[in-house]
Amino acid sequence: MDGRLYVSIVWCLSCFVVSTIRSSPVHDSRPLRRPLSTNYDDEYRTNYADYEQSEQWSRPRRPSTTSAALKLTRGARSADHPDLQVTGIRVEVAERDPTYDENGVPVLLVGMTATIRLFGQGFTNETSVAVTSVPGLRGENCQHPSNKVFLVDAKSIMKTSAQAMVQLPDTALDGTTFYICTKKSNSSNWEYAGDETETWLQIKAFQKMLPLWLGIVIIVVLLVLSGLFSGLNLGLMALDKTELKIVVNTGTETERKHARAIEPVRAHGNYLLCSLLLGNVLVNSTLTILMDDLTSGPVAVIGSTIAIVIFGEIMPQAICSRHGLAVGAQTVYITKAFMIITAPLSYPISLLLDKILGKEIGNVYNRERLKELIKVTNEYNDLEKEEVNIISGALELKEKIVKDVMTSIEDAFMLPEDAVLDFETLNEIREKGYSRIPVHEKGNRYHIVNILYAKDLAFVDSRLNMPVSVFCKFHPRNFEFVFEDVTLDHMLKLLREGSKGHMAFVLKVVTQDEKDPYYELVGLVTLEDIIEEMIKAEIVDETDMWSDNRTKRQLDRNTYNVSLFLGKREKQKHVLSPQLTLAAFQFLCTSVSPFKPDVISLTALRKLLEEDVNRQIKLKRKGIMQDPQSLIIYEKNKPANFFVLVLEGLAEVSIGNENLVFVARPFTSFGTEFFMSVTESALVVTPPSLPEYQPAEFLPDYTVRAHTDITFIKIPVSLYIAAVRATKLDKMREDGGALEDLDLSMEAPHFANASSPSTAGNGPLVIKERDRFMSSGQISPLPPSPSESQGLLPQENTQF
């Protein structure tokens, strides 16, 4: 409830309560004082009839006052004081409005100064007025007049009246009657203006309800309670049941503790509201009454209004609007106590409100409001941008349709059913990187007959050239057709079940004039498309070639061009399958140190494998066993200058003096350390110094022979050195030229014995090697370095 409405309610109730209390017997209240009047007749009339007919005489409003007027007249007639005579009094102005008892006697607050009008005759500038609590007869000497003596106001003196001030002693008890005493001049004695029977010449005293210090303490306590109720009304009622449950489940430990303390009280919403409002109104009303008791009426109204607005509304509501949970938890026992105290009135009202307004269920957010709530509080919460996107995307699934995220059928990679699963087709599938490839009818891309799964191609032999239609008969797949206006939440549920895969084809209903409508295939949608829309980001894996289907931005991928292994192979006596060549290529450049890209470029390695390096040994030829000597690949202690990689079959290895024998399986290499030493030696140098070719070899301490039919790669050191040199020279070129046209083939060198290798017979070989490099355009002829041309690799006995 707004603070201004509180103030209005409090003010109205305060005025009503103050009026009621003043009219109660506690204060012996009577109607308010007579209207002010300062004009009177010049002549003082002494008979009752004259007083009755006078227009200037203000008559009492109650019958009791009329009887008092009769006594006043009789007393005036019997008085024997022609000089100074007082026949009546009236309170004109007081610091606090007086009240009147049943006899019309004014009741004034002790210690309060009041201005009264004296009716009678004989008033002069020296006339003094005082009060006494000791009764006496009219005209007798006044006993114990008060110390507060006031002269008659000279400006107010008339023939029949005058004004003077009086003040009741601070020590006067509540209900004490005071009598008026007058003195005509300073030399005269104090005389009673009337006796105890003349009530119209008397004043009664009353004390405040509470002492000043106690009243201030109670006012401060009431202000605290007023602020507490006002703040709790805003703080607790702003925390609905839904928010409290959220805090209990997800808040910090302190917040959970506070929420658990408040939750039982907040569960009774209307009961809590009625108790807080009733307590607030009660406290504010009491505060206004006490303020009125301590001060005068206008001061009490202004003071209580300012105090309630500042300390009872603004400050507590400002605090509780931000810390309502903590304040409510710390004061929950006070709240429960007031709920019990106000239960006779607040509980029935709350039941009525529950009946009329219904049960409180808390705030409920729909999809749009929840999404907007996350957005507007983004800079204050701890959610990352990606988290906000995921939440927003999940909430928007119901609003988007398949048409918004599908891939157009023209952009989809598909295969016709008459395609052949040869090496070229499988390589194309590998390069595209898709896990599911739609298969369409021959000559009609809009008629899907099956889906080809890439994982099903793992055991396909490309040499069989199997048609796609035949393969699909062995691997039939179910697939789903959906319309383009299907919402993404329904599509997510459909694809998540996986009964018909994670791909569906999108249809559109085409209607034409005077023709029957028909379905047209317009695109396809996958589970990944929906997830990307939900997280509002593209999912890019290692096989994707495009960033997304909309911008079609191509990604920079370092992939092997397998089609290069389908080129000319006229140099090879034994041709390997493209798959096996690719496997050997990838194994060498990733697992064998001398052939890694930092030593030999991928282009040079590919060129090297195009040379006549493939070998095959069969145990039997035309049913006849081969000579055992022809089965040997490496012979112990016999110089060798080549590298071997087993691709198919098994090789028997006997090693050491003990002739330990074991079997070498495919992709076992021999001569690796030898080639590493060649790479690090002076045989392979960095330009511009290019020495003539020097032979190198090593003495293996093992024997390798074919154990079964075996296929392997045998790379001579001369080819390897040429490839390493070409790589080094290629890296030095400023234009970064490629080695696509480089021819690394050369004749096998003739070695002399290992201890004293001969260089005389290698002249043509060196020239031929240099001519091949120069003809490829990779290097220029450089003179050999004399110092380097004399260097040789030391012979090594190394393991493979």
Q: pLDDT value at position 447?
A: 92
**Is the distance from CB of 509 to CB of 517 less than 8 angstroms?**
yes
Angle at 717 between CA 715 and CA 721, to 5 degrees: 110
Lowest mean pLDDT, pick from 196-210, 233-247, 409-423: 233-247
| 466-474 contacts at long range (C-beta below 8 A, 24 or more positions apart) | 466/420, 466/421, 467/417, 467/418, 467/419, 467/420, 467/421, 468/415, 468/416, 468/417, 468/418, 468/419, 468/420, 468/421, 468/439, 469/417, 469/418, 469/439, 471/421, 472/417, 472/439
* Cβ count near 272 (within 10 Å): 23
* Residue 713 scores a pLDDT above 90: yes
Q: Could you report the per-residue pLDDT of 404-457, keeping only the tens digit for each?
A: 899 999 989 999 999 999 888 888 888 888 889 999 999 899 999 999 999 988
How far apart CA 687 and CA 323 sit, in angstroms, is 77
Residue with tokens 């498309």: 529
- Phi and psi (nearest 5°) for 560? -85, 130
* Residue 208 scores a pLDDT above 80: no
Q: pLDDT value at position 687?
A: 45
CB-based contacts of 784: which residues, under 8 Å, 6+ apart?
Answer: 690, 691, 692
Closest CA to 700 of 629, 633, 636: 636
Q: Could you report the per-residue pLDDT of 338-378, keeping only the tens digit for each?
A: 888 888 888 888 888 888 887 776 677 777 878 888 877 77
Q: pLDDT value at position 666?
A: 93
Q: Which residue has the higher pLDDT, 157 or 737?
A: 157
DSSP letter for each residue of 745-759 = --PPPPP--SSS--S
Q: Which residues pair with 132 in a beta bridge?
A: 179
How far apart CA 397 and CA 787 sit, in angstroms, is 75
* Cβ count near 132 (within 10 Å): 18
* Residue 145 scores a pLDDT above 70: yes
Radius of gyration of the chain (CA): 58
Average pLDDT over residues 761-771: 31
Q: Which amino acid is at 414?
A: M
Average pLDDT over residues 703-716: 92
* Residue 65 scores a pLDDT above 60: no
688 cis-preceded (ω within 30 degrees of 0): yes
Q: pLDDT value at position 667?
A: 93
pLDDT-based confidence at residue 216 (cuts at 50, 70, 90): confident
Q: pLDDT value at position 761?
A: 34
pLDDT-based confidence at residue 37 (cuts at 50, 70, 90): very low
* Residue 695 scores a pLDDT above 80: no
How far apart CA 273 and CA 339 sit, in angstroms, is 10
* Cβ count near 12 (within 10 Å): 11
| 553-559 contacts at long range (C-beta below 8 A, 24 or more positions apart) | 559/431
Residue with tokens 């060798």: 640
Q: Could you report the per-residue pLDDT of 85-98, keeping only the tens digit for each?
A: 898 999 988 877 78
DSSP state for residue 314 in the 8-state scheme: I
Q: Could you report the per-residue pLDDT of 662-691, keeping only the tens digit for each?
A: 899 999 999 998 888 887 764 454 444 444
DSSP letter for each residue of 259-302 = HHHHHHHHTSHHHHHHHHHHHHHHHHHHHHHHHHHHS-HHHHHH
Q: pLDDT value at position 4?
A: 43
Q: pLDDT value at position 402?
A: 92
What is the percentage of the chain residues whose pLDDT exceeds 90?
Answer: 17
Closest CA to 259 of 268, 270, 250, 248: 248
How far apart CA 452 and CA 291 sit, in angstroms, is 91
Question: What is the length of the chain?
Answer: 800
Q: pLDDT value at position 9?
A: 54
Q: pLDDT value at position 362?
A: 66
Q: How confident is the prediction for the chain on average, in pLDDT?
A: 75
Residue with tokens 């003196």: 157
Query: 616-640 burial string, b = 16+ CB within 10 Å, else e?
Result: ebbeeeeeeeeeeeebebbebeebb
How far apart CA 374 and CA 5 sit, in angstroms, is 34
CB-based contacts of 498: which residues, under 8 Å, 6+ apart?
Answer: none
3-state DSSP assignment of residue 453: strand
